[in-house]
Amino acid sequence: MNGQGDAMRDTAPDEGYVTADGRKIGGVAMEMRNITLRFGGVVAIKDISFDIRWGEIRAIIGPNGAGKSSMLNVISGFYHPQEGDVIFKGYKRPRMRPYQVARMGIARTFQNIALFEGMSVLDNIMTGRLHHMKANLFQQAMWWGRAQREEDANREQVEKIIDFLEIQHIRKTPVARLPYGLKKRVELARALAAEPSILLLDEPMAGMNVEEKEDMSRFILDVNDEFGTTTVLIEHDMGVVMDLSDRVVVMDYGKKIGDGTPDEVRNNEEVIKAYLGVAHE
């Protein structure tokens, strides 16, 4: 990246590990190093460090207002932390606009659905493949050569994702007409269409019924299995988080209070105190 040599790496490459159920987890994909994010006098994130490994499902949990979504916004380049660095693929990431981050292979979904309401499902998902399409303005205006070739090649990829997420029947429906659960699925499809190396999911199951949650969980696991997509997940449903994720970061009031496998987190004194049921004094 950026033509930097190995000598410039900010982290040493490492091996990774194999999970209990036999999935191979790679080395560190992204490292958040001492991130502090302030909005005026409010400290949203306070000196937080954690890493994300290739191929794992990493959850970020915490009570409302803990700073989880802010953390996701830092990763996707929407917020720029006052202190600390984001290390991606071993190199310190310079300050970037969100669209540049997206082009590096980081895709996300949003807490409140952020689909393009005026477009069809197909167009929404095709928009996710933006940076796979290189035809310039004049080629597109003529609809000739590269523009048409690209459109068809990318359509084929998009159809694979449509098949995968079982939304064939709504491909030409305007998004505004879809029910909530399907919109969430289309949003996942749009993020997947980018073929991201890291997928950020901000509360993918918020406001869903049990059946929809089961479907969504299955899709997240399948995506991870089939494409090996590294997934970072924010979710409030503890059962879902503990079942799906390989490692969990727990945040409270902008601080990290726990980090580890679901079992470790479940038994962590401080996490129990702050989050899993014991009332604040």
Q: Does 135 bind other proteins (CB under 8 A)?
A: yes
Restricted to residues 105-134, the positions that interact with other proteins (CB under 8 A) are: 107-108, 110, 114-119, 123, 126-128, 130-131, 133
Least distance to other proteins, CB of residue 183, Å: 13
Least distance to other proteins, CB of residue 6, Å: 28
Least distance to other proteins, CB of residue 91, Å: 20
Restricted to residues 233-252, the positions that interact with other proteins (CB under 8 A) are: none
Q: Which stretch binds other proteins (CB under 8 A): 43-51, 81-89, 136-144, 272-280?
A: 136-144
Q: Which stretch binds other proteins (CB under 8 A): 38-46, 51-59, 76-84, 270-278?
A: 76-84
Q: Which stretch binds other proteins (CB under 8 A): 40-48, 56-64, 97-105, 229-237?
A: 97-105
Torsion of CA 66, 40, 46, 199, to 10 degrees: 60
Tell which one of 7, 18, 20, 137 touches other proteins (CB under 8 A).
137
Binding letters toward other proteins, positions 142-181, x by CB under 8 A? xx---xx-xxx--xx--x----------------------
Q: Which is nearer to other proteins, 73 or 230 (CB)?
A: 73
DSSP the chain: -TT--GGG-SS-----EE-TTSPEE-SEEEEEEEEEEEETTEEEEEEEEEEEETT-EEEEE-STTSSHHHHHHHHTTSS--SEEEEEETTEEPPP--HHHHHHTTEEE--SS----TTSBHHHHHHHTTGGG----HHHHHHT-THHHHHHHHHHHHHHHHHHHTT-GGGTTSBGGGS-HHHHHHHHHHHHHHT--SEEEEESTTTT--HHHHHHHHHHHHHHHHHH--EEEEE-S-HHHHHHH-SEEEEEETTEEEEEE-HHHHHT-HHHHHHTSSPPP-
Q: Which is nearer to other proteins, 52 or 102 (CB)?
A: 102
Positions touching other proteins (CB under 8 A) are 76-78, 97-99, 101-103, 107-108, 110, 114-119, 123, 126-128, 130-131, 133, 135, 137, 140-143, 147-148, 150-152, 155-156, 159, 190, 194
